[in-house]
A and B are shown apart, each in its own frame.
Chain A
């Protein structure tokens, strides 16, 4: 047990996170165990965000730090974090905003989901390929531009045409996205923030 790493992650102390991860690796502590400490720290970050002790700036930072620490461990493999199954996410094509997506993917990853991050400006074909390959129960589409609503709609419609719609719940999120957008693009749910995505996915998967 490394309370030091958990606290460092929760307090967003980059230097301490890096030194502690390196120390644990040297001591041959199993990667999965180190990841579990980072995840526990991220859980505290999430709680502090809910309690308005932390803000989006801290969530963005925590995502960066979690990824930095993961990279020291050679990345988080699917098996390492797939306690609750796979979550696929990307920002829809013609939109390159990545901040919101990065927060959600990291928070999902730190909450025990195997995350497949498709990146930004993601074409429909890539979502369909990922659904076929990873068989996620939930996918997320980020969209920050009103002009890209039709792209989200087309993507969801193509997922349906490919016969894959019944196998996944589709979540959408992003600044201008609201209930009316959800209805328009035929998604299943609008998530206002990363925590809501975690809660929805866990509830749907019966966790």
Chain B
């Protein structure tokens, strides 16, 4: 079979899951940042920034290892750069701490929250808009998007050819889209201060969020329209689950973002990939209002797949949720059992096998293999 034919099969498999139809088998999305160690155990996470081409090469080799090659998703090459991580952190108006620079050689990069926005800035947003405020806050944290080095298009072209030769799924994800406005504002103010704002001046916070949400939706649609065709867009959420905030706060301050962005994306035929860390159990039912097969629910291990299936199983594709801790320190038998039980629970329609949140860089190869084998029923 040629790589193109393989890609076609995998794309069909992924699309069936996303559309909540029955695929030929459960798709497997288990690519991990640390797979380079399966080829060179001496390489470290700092090498992503020190010798990125070497790491890309190792990741491509790792994707071809027996059993690991059953993963449908492409290896995570090409985008874990210093510029990319800096831009990612800046979405929360935060700085990034990198391995080999501020952190140990094999430490995971950390987001260092700055909270540059003042209470007076709420009025500035009301007066001058969120675009103006974004530029101002970026200045305050010393981030200049224009100063980021442009991607090396020639190298990226070569890399994409190497990835294409692997025959992995190639369905498009829209670029880095704005995070929910509630999360962005909490980063801009810093979490404790933001929660105090919610209590002290709820109407002003809501008014600012209204402006931010409309801005974020416009930016999202612009980004999706300007890039290559996307099947889905990634929307990340990490600090607004039902353990964090009350249903009242969620309804008034957070959910309006989803109500705006999901239908707007649907209008241009792009699904919403909802990466939802922390416990969302008591908030799942809100998401039933969206049309069937327009969202993908991508949790960490905190919510629980049984609950997600019970509430959203007939509405959207669900990905998950082998715990990262289990992949890092569990045994292959434990991982196999978890994945097997998960397959039995979720069935083969509208489900993608993955880790909760993401595969940790220190996941053991034998544990990843155990999850794959369990998914394949071997």
Query: Measuring CB to CB, which residues of chain A are less than 8 angstroms from any residue of chain B?
Result: 12, 14, 55-58, 60-61, 63-64, 93-97, 99, 102, 145-150, 175-178, 180-181, 184
The answer, yes or no, to whether B107 is at the interface (CB within 8 Å) is yes
Pick from B97, B245, B326: contact of A180, CB under 8 Å: B326
B323 cross-chain contacts in A, Cβ below 8 A: 176, 178
Pick from B107, B249, B324: contact of A176, CB under 8 Å: B324
How far is A89 from B199 in the complex, measured between Cα atoms in Å? 29
How far is A99 from B195 in the complex, measured between Cα atoms in Å? 13
How far is A56 from B301 in the complex, measured between Cα atoms in Å? 18
A95 cross-chain contacts in B, Cβ below 8 A: 110
A178 cross-chain contacts in B, Cβ below 8 A: 323, 325-326
Interface string of B309-330 (1 = CB under 8 A from A): 0000000000000011111111
Q: Is A148 within 8 A of B107, CB to CB?
A: yes
How far is A93 from B328 in the complex, measured between Cα atoms in Å? 18
How close is B36's CB to chain A, nearest CB, in angstroms? 14
Indicate whether A57 sits within 8 Å of B244 (C-beta atoms), given known contacts A145-B108, A175-B302: yes
In the A-B complex, list the 4 residue pairs whose CB atoms are closest, starting with the nearest: A94-B107, A146-B360, A184-B329, A64-B192
Q: Is A149 within 8 A of B191, CB to CB?
A: no
Indicate whether A57 sits within 8 Å of B245 (C-beta atoms), given known contacts A14-B196, A175-B300, A180-B330: yes
Q: Is A147 within 8 A of B195, CB to CB?
A: no
Q: Is B325 within 8 A of A176, CB to CB?
A: yes
The answer, yes or no, to whether B233 is at the interface (CB within 8 Å) is no
Closest residue of chain B to A67 (Cβ to Cβ) is B192
Query: Measuring CB to CB, which residues of chain B are less than 8 angstroms from any residue of chain A?
Result: 45, 97, 103-104, 106-108, 110, 112, 191-193, 195-196, 198-200, 242-246, 249, 277-278, 300-302, 323-330, 334, 360-362
Residue pairs across A and B with Cβ atoms less than 8 A apart, 10 shown, are: A55-B244, A57-B245, A63-B192, A94-B107, A96-B112, A175-B277, A175-B302, A176-B323, A180-B334, A181-B329
How far is A149 from B324 in the complex, measured between Cα atoms in Å? 11
Indicate whether A56 sits within 8 Å of B104 (C-beta atoms), given known contacts A14-B200, A99-B191, A146-B360: no
Q: Is B325 within 8 A of A146, CB to CB?
A: yes
Pick from B103, B193, B198, B328: contact of A146, CB under 8 Å: B328
B361 cross-chain contacts in A, Cβ below 8 A: 146-147
Q: Is A146 within 8 A of B195, CB to CB?
A: no
Q: Is B244 within 8 A of A180, CB to CB?
A: no
Indicate whether A55 sits within 8 Å of B107 (C-beta atoms), given known contacts A14-B200, A61-B196: no
Closest residue of chain A to B242 (Cβ to Cβ) is A55
Pick from B191, B326, B360: contact of A60, CB under 8 Å: B191
Q: Is A58 within 8 A of B324, CB to CB?
A: no
Q: Is A56 within 8 A of B329, CB to CB?
A: no
B330 cross-chain contacts in A, Cβ below 8 A: 180
Q: Is B249 within 8 A of A57, CB to CB?
A: yes
Q: Is B192 within 8 A of A149, CB to CB?
A: no
B198 cross-chain contacts in A, Cβ below 8 A: 57
Q: Is B192 within 8 A of A61, CB to CB?
A: yes
Closest residue of chain B to A150 (Cβ to Cβ) is B362
How close is B193's CB to chain A, nearest CB, in angstroms? 8
How close is A67's CB to chain B, nearest CB, in angstroms? 9
How far is A175 from B303 in the complex, measured between Cα atoms in Å? 12
A14 cross-chain contacts in B, Cβ below 8 A: 196, 200
How far is A150 from B198 in the complex, measured between Cα atoms in Å? 38
